[in-house]
Chains A and B, each alone.
Chain A
Amino acid sequence: MAPSAVAAPSRHPATPPAVQTLTLTESLPGFPGHRDYVLVPADPAGVLCWLQSVTPEGPRFLTVAAAAYFPEYVPGLPASALVELGLADPAAAELYCLVTVPGGDVAAATANLRAPLVVNGDTHRARQVVLTDGLHPIRRPLRR
């Protein structure tokens, strides 16, 4: 399954990546009251996704699929978060990192690896998990 996904040319995806509705078990810090979002692919390969509140005038965030940008990123997720999201297998968690583009300068863009959005793709429940291991930066440069 995974190898075929890798082999598929990202420029011509057979099927466009799907839109996911997400229910957050806890609102994002800084955005209280917003729990219902949609995760919408923002590029043909589906490595960038908008996390868009369903509320009119609600917040919108750009996220990167952590597996696509940071293959080595395998953070230890707290057991409490896994239980809350109903993730029996931590490897089944889909991780998205929120992107910041300071001053609109894409060369300076960073992703938040400290607090990934953890998604259970089966139940569409998600939450931003703040890692406490001190290993993962809040501002990891996206440019290589």
Chain B
Amino acid sequence: MLTLTRSVGETIRIGDDIEVHVVEVRGGTVRLGFKAPREVTIHREEVYRQIAEANLLAAQVTADSLGALAAFAPSASAAEAVAGEPPAPATQTAEDASA
């Protein structure tokens, strides 16, 4: 790994179009500024790892779970409720008759 020493206000350039600025150093913390083309994404390492791990788990989902998962959609549960309604009007009719 390449190691460079830089002071606050100084810059490192990576390739033609990526700049890393040392903005502030305080205690054990350094603030860095980045200028990079839009297609270059910049993440804190731990965030990138979290997303990568979540994606790796997501890639293991099988088709077995589809039906149950579809039923978790709010619109799907509304459809279930509509489908489950036919008995309800009958009950209501009975009540109306008794009233």
Chain A residues close to B by CB (< 8 Å): 6, 9-11, 25-26, 28-31, 42-43, 45, 47-48, 59-62, 64, 68-69, 71, 80, 83-84, 98-102, 104, 106-107, 109, 112, 114-115, 128, 130, 132, 138-139, 142-144
Bound together, the chains give a CA A98 to CA B75 distance in angstroms of: 19
CB-defined contacts of A100 to chain B, threshold 8 Å: 54, 57-58, 60-61
Are B69 and A104 neighbours in the complex by a CB distance under 8 Å? no
Q: Are B73 and A84 in contact (CB under 8 A)?
A: no
Given A80-B38, A101-B61, A138-B50, do A144 and B69 touch, yes or no (CB 8 Å)?
A: no
B83 to chain A, nearest CB (A): 8
Residues of A within 8 A of B79 (CB): 9-11
16 contacts across the A-B interface (CB closer than 8 A) = A10-B79, A28-B55, A43-B66, A45-B70, A45-B73, A61-B58, A62-B65, A68-B73, A68-B74, A69-B73, A83-B38, A100-B57, A107-B68, A109-B72, A114-B51, A142-B69
Complex contact B61–A130 (CB within 8 A): no
Minimum CB distance partner of B70 in chain A: A43
Q: Is the interface of A mostly helix, strand, loop or mixed?
A: loop
Q: Please give the distance in Å from A114's CB to the nearest CB on chain B.
A: 7
Give the B interface residue count (CB, 8 A).
36
Q: Are B74 and A104 in contact (CB under 8 A)?
A: no
Q: Which residues of B contact A104 (CB under 8 A)?
A: 62, 64-65
CB proximity of B98 to chain A, nearest CB, Å: 33
* B12-63, CB < 8 A from A: 38-39, 41, 43, 47-48, 50-63
Contacts of B60 in A (CB 8 A): 100-101
In the complex, A28→B50 CA distance in Å? 12
For the complex, give the distance between the alpha carbons of A139 and B47 in Å.
14
Say yes or no: A45-B38 contact (C-beta < 8 A), given A61-B61, A98-B54.
no
Question: A144 — which chain B residues lie within 8 A by C-beta?
Answer: 72, 74, 77
